[in-house]
Amino acid sequence: MSLTPPTLRASKREERDPDALTRAGWTLVAVVLLWPLLVLSGFNPLILLDAQNLKAMGNFLGGFLPPESSPEFLGILFKATLETLAMATAGIALALLIATPLAFVLTHSLSIARIGPASGRWRGETLRAVARVVLLLLRGIPDIVWALVFVRALGLGVTAGVLALAITYGGMLGKVYAEILESSDTRAARVLLEAGSSRTMALFYGMIPNAAQELVSYTVYRWECAVRASVIMGFVGAGGLGQLMDQSMKMLNGGEAATILATFLALVLIADAISVALRKLLQ
């Protein structure tokens, strides 16, 4: 005979997660499906614990200390940092010029046909379909591939990186801007359209005020991503911190590489601080 009070037994049953078995079942299904893929990819984390590999990694990481701090190198690093920031900022600025009109066209809530019959509905749908395809093509090719193409076409330098970022991030920003505008409160824009306002005025006065915080936050996040991408593009000759990092690694100069990595982390922290400040400003 159980001595546990009925109320205590009932409370224990209520504390049990009713979806625990369902989640466990889906976890098991995921493991069963993913395991063959891991085997085919040759993924073997135990190789990291091999004695020779541990020794090699220790020697490699030991070469990063102490970080390089000579005035000559810091001057070169400062110039490369400015190139990286300029590449990311100019790339995002051009991406905005590409993304803004495409997002405006793609936003279905700004369609006049949404508020009543319109003779040109098929033209709007066709234009939105074209904008959707353009955005897909822009973001479908990785920025590093565009950088390789532009380096071949224009030669080494920051210009290739700026154009590569502008094309790829223009596609990304345009798609997400349209989704943010569609998911925000569109009632004010609808009222303006019904009152005879233009689509542009409905956008600026009816939709952007409600979505400004998300739009700015995502734009700054993409600028942060562009800074990281700019570093990677340097490895294919687009200049900036990536090219300097490539040179240091080829020369097996771990101290310089450590200083470059620390600078890169500082840039990411600055970008995050800017994002937080802008969000507070728009609240």
Query: What are the backbone dihedrals phi and psi of residue 39, each rounded to the nearest 5 degrees, phi first?
Result: -65, -45
pTM score: 0.73
* pLDDT tens-place values along the chain, 283 residues long: 455 555 545 555 555 666 677 777 778 887 787 777 777 777 677 777 777 777 777 777 777 788 888 888 888 888 888 888 888 889 999 999 999 888 888 877 766 655 555 555 666 677 778 888 888 888 888 888 888 888 888 877 788 888 989 999 999 999 888 888 888 777 777 777 767 777 777 777 777 777 778 888 888 888 888 888 888 887 777 777 888 888 887 787 878 888 888 888 888 788 778 777 776 776 6
Domain 71-282 sits in which CATH superfamily? MetI-like (1.10.3720.10)
- Both structure tokens of 160: 């290739």
DSSP state letter for 113: G
Whole-angstrom Cα distance, residue 130 to residue 140?
15
Residue type (1 letter), 13: R
Q: Are 6 and 14 in contact (CB under 8 A)?
A: no
Residue type (1 letter), 93: A
Domain borders along the chain are 71-282
Distances 134 to 100, 103, 174, 207 between C-alpha atoms, Å: 13, 11, 10, 23
Please report where in the chains the tokens 């190789």 appear, as a residue.
47
